[in-house]
Structure 1
């Protein structure tokens, strides 16, 4: 999945282009199933009432996770609706924009699912929105964590939310190195 992934320099960070996150090449169902089933084993879902995912890159994983667990899927979208939602600004490794969190109700217990944790900016904004909506974040589950970009520290230390990941990677200009976890 990450071995042989292309590396791009965004000017601020080294980022990867791969099958799971970018659908380059097209995402094989067996890879999505493999990743989702392994991610499911890392997360305690006792008391969780909803899964929240950001629409762009986390949607395939979050959708599969929702189907696998039977938990309702809430979506954070880049465009607003005329219906009530919570809009939050975020800054991530590759984007600065706003997200509109839909489908979260007061009292929900939410697990956030995402493809990659790098700086933590996107997930931190989702945590803020969920808390503003009167719901609770139980945990964050990601497939890939980029070491040395500060995301885990932001979420766990500063925001008090446990993070579960399947693999930790380090990205150099020439390659992706799997530090820990599945390759």
Structure 2
């Protein structure tokens, strides 16, 4: 099911990278509940949640997946949002393949053990910023779980080699100007 979604995905040139437009990340077409269930149940089998106290997602594209994952696992959901609050949160700057912006991390407390969930790992910029924010807040990221990893953009290397956080993914893809190639992963 997931392979099919990415093999049917549209490709968009952001000027620096080729990115996909698809049902899971962009709700084009609208996201089917069975796809969301499929993705979250498979993500759950890939991660070690022993000792994890919270799930953290970025609101734009990770929110549907993180919310479903929170419901499936019973873990509280923390959110990194694009708009600030007057309440305590941690504001971070990030740079990804399609955006340069700030996020406000809410719901993380000192001592939390966090699993970061995201839809796509490409350059690793967004997730790296989330990891740094969690650390600055006195908590720890135990691992990162992503649905899709884009091969060749350096995200896995940044997170695992430089930041020391293991990455679990369901599917690895390469994006060409007019199609998406599935390199490896679940069906």
Q: Point out the structure with the larger helix share.
A: 2
Q: Aligned partners of 1:58 and 1:48: how far apart in 2? A: 18
Deviations 1:105-140 (A, max 9, x none): 000000000000000000000000000000000000
Normalised by the size of structure 1, how large is the TM-score?
0.99
Normalised by the size of structure 2, how large is the TM-score?
0.97
Gaps of 5+ in 1: none
Q: Aligned partners of 2:55 and 2:186: how far apart in 1? A: 23
Q: Aligned partners of 1:3 and 1:173: how far apart in 2? A: 13
> Is 1:57 aligned with 2:61?
yes
> Is 1:72 aligned with 2:76?
yes
> Is 1:147 aligned with 2:151?
yes
Q: Which residue of 1 aligns with 2:108?
A: 104
Moved over 3 A (4+): none
Q: Identify which of 174, 179, 182 aligns with 1:170.
A: 174
Deviations 1:49-85 (A, max 9, x none): 0000000000000000000000000000000000000
Q: Aligned partners of 1:30 and 1:154: how far apart in 2? A: 32
Q: Aligned partners of 2:20 and 2:41: how far apart in 1? A: 23
> Is 1:10 aligned with 2:10?
no
In the TM superposition, residue 42 of structure 1 has moved relative to its aligned partner by: 0.1
Gaps of 5+ in 2: none
In the TM superposition, residue 144 of structure 1 has moved relative to its aligned partner by: 0.1
In the TM superposition, residue 182 of structure 1 has moved relative to its aligned partner by: 2.3
